[in-house]
Structure formats: C-alpha cells, structure tokens
Amino acid sequence: MTITIKKPKIYIDNIIFSLQKSGGISVVWYEILQRLLTDPEIDLHMIDLPNQNIFRKNLTIPSKVLCENNLSGYPLNVQRYLNPKTDGKGIFHSSYYRTSSSGNFVNITTVHDFTYEYFRAGIPRLIHQFQKSQAIKNSKKIICVSQNTKTDLMRFFPSISQENIKVIYNGVDLVYRPLEKDETELFQICPFSSGEYLLYVGDRKSSYKNFALAVKTSKQTNRPLMMVGGGPLSEKENQVLVNVLGKNRFKILLGINNEQLNRIYNHALCLIYPSLYEGFGIPVLEAQRAGCPVITTNKSSIPEVAGSGAILLDEITGNQLADAVKFLEDNSEFTANLIQKGYQNAERFSWDKCCLETKQVYKEVYEEYF
C-alpha cells in the first residue's frame, strides 16, 4: 500500500521586493525563500512582481512556481494595498501585510515591528495601520520576529489570542565571521585603516535611528565614520558631514555584498547602533559574528537580541556613546571578552532555524484547516 503524504500548499507573496531595493525585511524574506525553494516537503507557489531589489536578483525562481498576479494591471503603489486573488486552496503568507481575497485560503502574517505606530504620523500612519490591522485580524497565525514585537502586538491588538502568535527569531548569515590572517586586507573602496573607524549600518533618516548621535560620536572621538546602506547621501547630508567631520573623515558604501560587509565589520573599531526601536536588529548579530564590538541601546528588542555581547546604554547621548568608544579603546581585556560574548550570543540565531520554524507553522496550520 502506498501512503501519500499531503504537502502543505503555500502561496508566497513577494510584494516586499517591490517596496524596497534593500532593507531588513527583504533580507528576512530572501533568506526564507532560498530555503523554501529547495524544500521538497512543501508545494510552493509565488506571486512575484516587478522590482529592483538587490536580494531578489539573487533568487532563481522556477517558472512552474510562479502564479498569475491578478492585480498586474494596477500600478505597484496601488497593488501594495490590494489583496490578490489566488486559485485553489492553501496557505497564503505575504511578505508585507496583504492577505488572499480567496475564501479557500488561510492567511499567515509576519509582523516585524511597530515603527509606524510609534514614530510616524498623518496619512501614511493611518494607511499603514489600517492595512496591518486588516492583515492581522484576517490571519489564523501571526509570526512575530521577537518577544518585544509580540508585546507590541498585544498592546495594539489586545483581542488577539496569544495561542495564535508564534515568535520566530530572524537569523544571521554565516558569511559573517572573523577573517583569517590571509584575508585581512581591506578592499579598495574603504579609505580608512583597520581599527580606525566607527561603523554605522542602515537607515539614517528615521528619527528613532539617531544617526546624528553617530556623527557626534565620530567627532568627539576624532575617528572617521563609515556608513553602510541607507541610500545615497543627499547634498544636505553631505554638507553637514563635511562641516562636522571634515571632507575626508567619512565614507558611505552602498550595494556591497555580505562578504564585503563582513570585511567592514572586521576592520571597524566598533559598530555604533544608537537606535531607540527595532523589531529585531540584524546588524547587531552580523557585527557579533564578525567579531566587531557593538555599542547600542537597552531599548525595545535590542537587549533581547544582543544578549550580553554588547554595550547596552540605558540613556543614549553623544557623550555616552563617545565614553563607551573610549572605554573600548582603553580596556583591551574587556573588549576581547565582549567580542567573545558576542560570538556566543550570535550562535543562538540562524536562518536555517528561522526557516524550519516557519515551515512548522505552515504544517500545523495546514493540518488544522485542510
């Protein structure tokens, strides 16, 4: 007798790749998809949209996996707010707060953070809140990327049963690691010496990221500032940096790959991560895996993710950041111990584990509803 094992039929919505060229959610979605695409235990289908995302271009998606996008006649800035229709029945999991408009599908929503709710205002916040709330209320299971995000979810949606919430931590790419002795040269686009510069990774424009404090710290410690990601510098940003730091005392790198970023982490004096709020905070783990000391805040999900492998500041000011940098400079034994704790902490997180736990949610939902 042949036993047929029913594979969960999963429809994946790749809308996030059309909403951003890079960014943390794109990283998460890319890491999960590259594992699901080679997983024989699920019946995978995808809605894919036009995009210029740097992570999407590294995915090879077979044509047999792609399904028709019934909203393709609408502009992308309209599609993002519309729910696609899918044929048949199965699980629908969107990368960014869409749900299936078909009655035979069970929705799963991943909630990354509540930055709009805490830090945005006006029409953008209202639109985002409405779309997010509709996705959450119409989903049978909600995945949160940290316990802190789950706490925020329960604050804003107290009627959601905790039984329907699953915390699944993000991972960190294994490419981040201490360099071997024969790998220690910096690549040509880095103008600073090893151990000379402070590193800032990610968004500079959101007020809660506190990029201005990273600039102030660079000035107070007389160390150059290396920035990675966050989009090109505007003329105004560039002029401010020239005025505060000096013409040759800062550098921004855009579109670099993980291997190159690993080198940047390896050669930095430390990562300055002054954010007041993160749903997760992947750069903290990248730095820890690369052996780069981390100075950050004791806020939101950051202590949950960083563990004891970072300097966590309760109050964040330029003076406190500068004092922390100088403490690292003057206390080599403490710094070495902090780096070792960072290695150990980062071992708690992996993309394989993240994907495995996500797949387990699919199986549980599929067995319950189909």
Q: Residue 300 has what pLDDT?
A: 96
Q: Given a cut of 60, is residue 175 above it in pLDDT?
A: yes
Residue 338 Cα distances to 177, 234, 255, 332, angstroms: 15, 35, 29, 10
Confidence of residue 181 (pLDDT cuts 50, 70, 90): confident
Rounded mean pLDDT of 105-122? 96
Confidence of residue 1 (pLDDT cuts 50, 70, 90): very low
Q: What share of the chain is helix, strand, coil (3-state, %, to 5)?
A: 40, 15, 45
pLDDT tens, residue by residue, 20-63: 988 899 999 999 999 999 999 999 999 999 999 999 999 999 99
Range in 102-106, 147-151, 174-178 the model is least confident about: 102-106
Q: Given a cut of 90, is residue 110 above it in pLDDT?
A: yes
- In whole angstroms, give the CA distance from residue 253 to residue 232: 9
Q: Given a cut of 90, is residue 188 above it in pLDDT?
A: no
Please name the residues in contact with 145: beta carbons below 8 A apart, sequence gap of 6 or more: 28, 110, 111, 112, 113, 167, 168, 169, 170, 279, 280, 301
Total residue count of the chain as it appears in this document: 370
Confidence of residue 255 (pLDDT cuts 50, 70, 90): confident
Rounded mean pLDDT of 333-361? 97
Q: What percent of the chain has pLDDT over 70?
A: 98
Residue 41 Cα distances to 24, 33, 90, 236, 339, angstroms: 27, 14, 14, 52, 39
Q: Which two tokens stand for residue 72?
A: 């393709």
Runs of H (alpha helix) within the chain? 16-19, 24-36, 76-79, 115-119, 122-137, 147-156, 211-221, 235-245, 258-267, 282-290, 302-306, 318-330, 332-346, 351-369
Rounded mean pLDDT of 209-232? 96
Q: Residue 3 has what pLDDT?
A: 47
Confidence of residue 184 (pLDDT cuts 50, 70, 90): low
Rounded mean pLDDT of 322-339? 97
Q: Which amino acid is at 54?
A: I
Range in 19-33, 171-185, 299-313 the model is least confident about: 171-185
Identify the three-state secondary structure at position 295: strand
Measured N-to-C along each axis, helices 332-346 and 282-290 cross at an angle, to the nearest 10 degrees, of: 120
Q: Given a cut of 50, is residue 310 above it in pLDDT?
A: yes
Give the distance, in angstroms, between the CA of residue 158 and the centroid of all CA atoms in the same chain: 25
Q: Residue with structure tokens 């040269």?
A: 185
Q: Which two tokens stand for residue 119?
A: 């830090």
Q: What percent of the chain has pLDDT over 90?
A: 89
